[in-house]
Structure 1
Amino acid sequence: MAEKLDLQRQYTAKDFAALRAFVQRLPPAVIARTYFNEDDDPHAATPGAMERYLRDMLAALVALAIEHGSPVLADHLKASIRKHGSAKLTAASLKMVEDAARLAVAKPAAAHGIGMWFRPMVARYLKARGVATLSDLVAYCNARGGSWWRSVPRVGPGRARTIVAWLRRHEGTLGLRVDEDVDLADPLAAADHDIVAVGGPSGALVPLERMALRAVLDGSAGVNRSVAFPYIAARNDLAAVRAWLHLYRDRPKTLRAYTKEAERFLLWSVTVRGKALSSLLVDDCEAYKDFLALPSPSFIGTRAPRKSLRWRPFAGDELSPESRLYAVRVLRAAFAWLVEMRYLAGNPWKGVRDPVTIQREGEIQIDRALTRQLWADIRSHVRRRSSAHENQRWRVVHGLMLLMGDSGLRREEAAGARRERLQPYPMDDGTDVWALTIVGKRNRERTVPVSVETVDALRAHWRDRGDDFDAPKAAGPLLSPIVIPRTDAAQKKHLPGERQPYRPDTFNEIVDWLRKRLLAELDNLSPATHAQLEQMTPHAFRHTFGTLAAANDVPLDVVQRVLGHRSIQTTSIYLQAEKRRMMNEVGAMFERRDAKETASREDGPAGVPTEASDR
């Protein structure tokens, strides 16, 4: 009986749910499809196997109930077996059998596959997120907190609460603990603007917008505060930092980067150094520079929304030398501004040396630029696919890749490009070209050439939108969504005559879709070309323009103006043609030298035939 009991311990709650359905006369095929997965449950492979498994389970449970249940239940089951050959159960009597056979339920273990305990749909989506075992599931929840379920399709808050409650119920048998802050309430549902005081015993780490400093550390009496009349109305360090960041309110990318550096330094100052920002000296700043090389574990966490309880200032355990250099320079500039505004008396960062970095051969990573042949193959394939009447998405792709690849635009510049800023331009040799005026990085306006092929692709995209590209006063974004969601917010954004452009981030999704299609549809890709195509991003089109323009002997100052670089030194990295020529010439020299040495060894000294020559 002990051997039989050990076997029964493999039954799970999922098995009992299937058995209830079987007792209620649900077909075995439906039970297998609803409760089991063929990969995890071989007994669900066919309806016959499923029925045999459930009948064997029922017989085993009845045997346990007869042995361990009440005398009345045992007599009832024995009588049913004598009359029908096996126990005939109703839903009510099955419940009594389950209660009596409670020992038959398996105990969850950390190594158990999730398919053993959860229905196929839930198990399938969890596995797609790399969660294969119950141990993985606990780790996944602990890493993401109460909002862990947001990244798993078909697992909403209700199902998430059930799963977390089940994990907590079985912590003893799992040997794993679900963190306390993986609470059943979603932290993202908390108030967006809860202010948390930083610098007290709790050591709370929160983003700048939710931060409040305790009076002893808020800098209102900082030793480095200026005694002169201040130019900003900031009574404490937090207000002063926010005043500096406010300068960049119209430059969102810069604002995000500077906010990250400022809040990291401010949090370190009050929670690690125990000093107000306006009381820091040179040795404090040197200590922070060392801290950046190896942040403390309490400052590190997985990426999480800024309003999540799981947010941390750092996503990794160390910063690269280049990132540390950037942080130091940002903070030095911030303190310099605070000194100019007479908030601080001096800038301690002036006494701190920059972190040592390696001077790269090219600061811009252009290794993802497409080769000439691959660029030609992609253009040809997309042109062919976009010619079909129903392929509207291909025409969006066609217009985007040519706008960035033929004119060298950045992602944000392509998103902001407008029809009223695009005009035909008369060329000296009579060829056709168009000129597009855009506002680029650092709000600098420039004009770039646009090919006729690009204009034709944009014209086809406008036809799909129901707009006339060649109307006398045509206006609007060059690239805009064709299908507008039916939500009220989306409909208001895209009122007739007020069409909105794509968001720059959407271009990543469009190019990601293109990359997958190209990998599936392009033939005879070499391993190197395949690897290059796998890394293709929107910015790869811009790099492709710079590389091919330099290789075709377009003057470097022209390439600089088209790309919108401040320094011609930045543009010079695209001179890969010269680098390739250097490598080819020296490589050829190596081959000629090796060939001469080989011939010399075969001829022997002074023309004397070698042994090989005699033969």
Structure 2
Amino acid sequence: MNLPPVAPESPESVLPIALPAALDGRDGTNRARGGHLQIVADSDVEAVRLWLAEYAGSPHTLRSYRKEAVRLVLWATRTLGKPLSSLTREDFLLYEQFLAAPTGDWADPMRPRRGGTRRLFDGPLSERSRHQALGIVSGLLSYLVSAGYLAGNPLALRRRTGAAARRTRRVERYLDHALWDHVLASVEQWPRHTARDHQHYERCRWLIRLLYHTGLRVSEAAHAKAADFYQRRGNWWLHVLGKGGAEGEVPVSAALMADFARYRVFHGLPPTPSGSERAAAVMSVTGDPQRHLTPAAVYLIVKEMFRRAADMLAPTDPAGAATLRRASTHWLRHSAASHQADAGTDLRFIQKNMRHASIQTTGIYLHAEDDQRHAETVREDGDTSRPGS
């Protein structure tokens, strides 16, 4: 199988695919007929480009969504000989099998990772990655149905199994209170013999507290500005520009503002941020107030903190050290929500703090009831029997 060239990613090429007329979707069997079209699109590629344009303000989301759109359109046209707008539920069953085992040129390690002839897979997708890919594709199809372009979404019929069915389970990728305390204590033991060491220590000390106490996503923390911190009725808040350009407000404690003041004073700035300054909330590695850390840098710095904390813990708690080595930036967001729930914070407030669209998503952080049920079910002596049972 020879895949068609895929142009390099660029702002000018939202969806770098050209299809023959017979496969462009103008006559797709799932095209909506007779309704009022909400978008100006005659072909599948044009319609997908309009969907992707909705995410132009979120580069990371756009890149991820475009990757899945390219994979699906090329698979449908090259493997099945069908346009996107003719795919059925049966076709998507085949596609899910394909994602679990892409073959040939799709995952050829001899092909470059970038460029017009790049491979589109590094190998089989895990169950979780397949679920994510199909979720993105389902979002695309639902958009096209709402736009009056498609008659229906075949993936709406998909049975919730595996990772999808387990979404209601309690979140597991978080640090318990003991591990979180260990991470904080381990950072305090870092050497600060040189100016560079000291700067790195202050940056890490502030960054991990910012991520945990605000529950920010990595990209949100990387792009946060000092001016995003503001006071209302004597309380500090943080304005957040989140996924898809959604705005939110996160409460900020006096303790976190004290940590922010310490970080700013270290870099020669006034302790309290003002609404007019342009300084970054987390400055670049060189300490330039006008430059932000990149999301990749934030991720790597946090991974380093977890690794160093794990190395210190390994001799006395190998299991805890293994958990820390798996942890990443998003674990801090999960930890924030879990610890707020443990403290009895109203679920509605946690939903607003995490900026979840659904309170059902927030519900996966409620661990206290599970802990109580486990403690009362599994007693220390192992005897759960009752008289007369």
Give TM-score scaled by structure 1 length: 0.53
CA contact (8 A) 2:17 2:70 kept: no
Q: Give how far 1:478 is off.
A: 1.1
Q: What does 1:299-318 correspond to in 2, within 5 Å?
A: 299-302=106-109, 305-307=113-115, 309-312=117-120, 314-317=121-124
**Given residue 23 of structure 2, which amino acid in structure 1 is its aligned partner?**
L
**Partner residue, 2:254:** 452
Confirm whether residue 515 of structure 1 aligns to residue 306 of structure 2: yes
Taking a change above 3 Å as real, the CA distance of residues 223 and 519 of structure 1, as seen in their structure-2 partners, is closer
Map of 1:126 onto structure 2: none
SS across alignment from 1:398: helix
Q: Deviations over 1:16-48 (max 9, x none)?
A: xxxxxxxxxxxxxxxxxxxxxxxxxxxxxxxxx
Alpha-carbon offset, residue 402 of structure 1: 0.8
Counterpart of 1:462 in structure 2 is 264
* 1:204 match: 4
* In 1: Cα distance, 2:147 partner to 2:213 partner: 45
* 1:562 corresponding residue in structure 2: 353
Equivalents in 2 of 1:285, 1:475: separation in Å?
48
1:578 aligns with 2:384: no
User: 1: distance between equivalents of 2:57 and 2:267?
Assistant: 30
Q: 1:308 to 1:566 in 2, by over 3 A?
A: same
Given that residues 88 and 154 in structure 2 are in contact (C-alpha distance below 8 angstroms), is that contact kept between their aligned partners in structure 1?
no
In the alignment, which of 21, 39, 62 is matched to residue 255 of structure 1?
62
Question: Matched residues in 2 for 1:541 and 1:336: separation?
Answer: 32
Q: Which residue of 2 aligns with 1:402?
A: 209
Q: Deviations over 1:131-180 (max 9, x none)?
A: xxxxxxxxxxxxxxxxxxxxxxxxxxxxxxxxxxxxxxxxxxxxxxxxxx
Equivalence for 1:441: 243
Which of 140, 146, 149 matches 1:334?
Answer: 140
Identity of aligned residues (%): 29
> 1:197 maps to which residue?
none
| C-alpha displacement of 1:283 | 5.0
Report if the CA contact (8 A) 2:226-2:273 is conserved. Answer: no
Query: Any conservation in 2 of the 1:403–1:450 contact (CA below 8 Å)?
Result: no
Q: Structure 1 residue 499: deviation in Å?
A: 0.8
Partner of residue 532 from structure 1, selected from 310, 314, 323: 323
Structure 1 stretches lacking a partner, 5+ long:
1-200, 428-432, 485-493, 597-615
Q: Within 5 A, what are the aligned runs for 1:56-95?
A: none
Q: Is this contact kept in 1: 2:214–2:353, CA < 8 A?
A: yes
Structure-2 change in CA distance of 1:304 and 1:553 (3 Å)? farther
Partners of 2:229 and 2:370 lie apart in 1 by: 36
List per-residue Cα deviations over 1:369-410 (Å, max 9, x = no partner).
Answer: 222223223323434648878311111111111111122222
Q: Which has the higher helix share?
A: 1
For the residues of structure 2 that align with 1:300 and 1:355, how far apart are their CA atoms? 28
Match of 2:11 in 1: none
Is residue 219–residue 276 contact of structure 1 (8 Å, CA) maintained in 2? yes
Distance 2:360 2:16 in 1: 42
Structure 1's 520 and 211: CA in aligned 2 closer, same or farther, altered over 3 A? same
The yes-or-no answer on 1:376 pairing with 2:184 is no
For this pair of structures, how many residues does the alignment match? 374
1:277, distance to aligned residue in structure 2 (A): 3.3
How far apart, in 1, do the equivalents of 2:167 and 2:27 lie? 47
Provide the secondary structure at the position in 2 that maps to 1:478: coil
Alignment of 1:414-433 (within 5 A): 414-424=221-231
Contact 1:244 1:337 in 2 (8 A): yes
Query: Deviation per CA, 1:255-283, whole angstroms, max 9, x where unpaired?
Result: 23322222122112221112333454565
Q: Cα–Cα, structure 1 residues 590 and 480, in superposed 2: closer, same or farther, change >3 Å? A: same
Cα distance in 2, alignment partners of residues 479 and 515 from structure 1: 19
Calculate the aligned-residue CA RMSD, in Å.
Answer: 3.7
Give the CA deviation at 1:479: 0.7
TM-score (norm 2): 0.80
Q: What SS is found at the alignment partner of 2:208?
A: helix
Where 2:344 maps in the other structure, the secondary structure is coil
In 2, Cα distance between equivalents of 1:424 and 1:335: 42
Partners of 2:60 and 2:273 lie apart in 1 by 35
Q: Distance in 2 between matches of 1:570 and 1:413?
A: 19
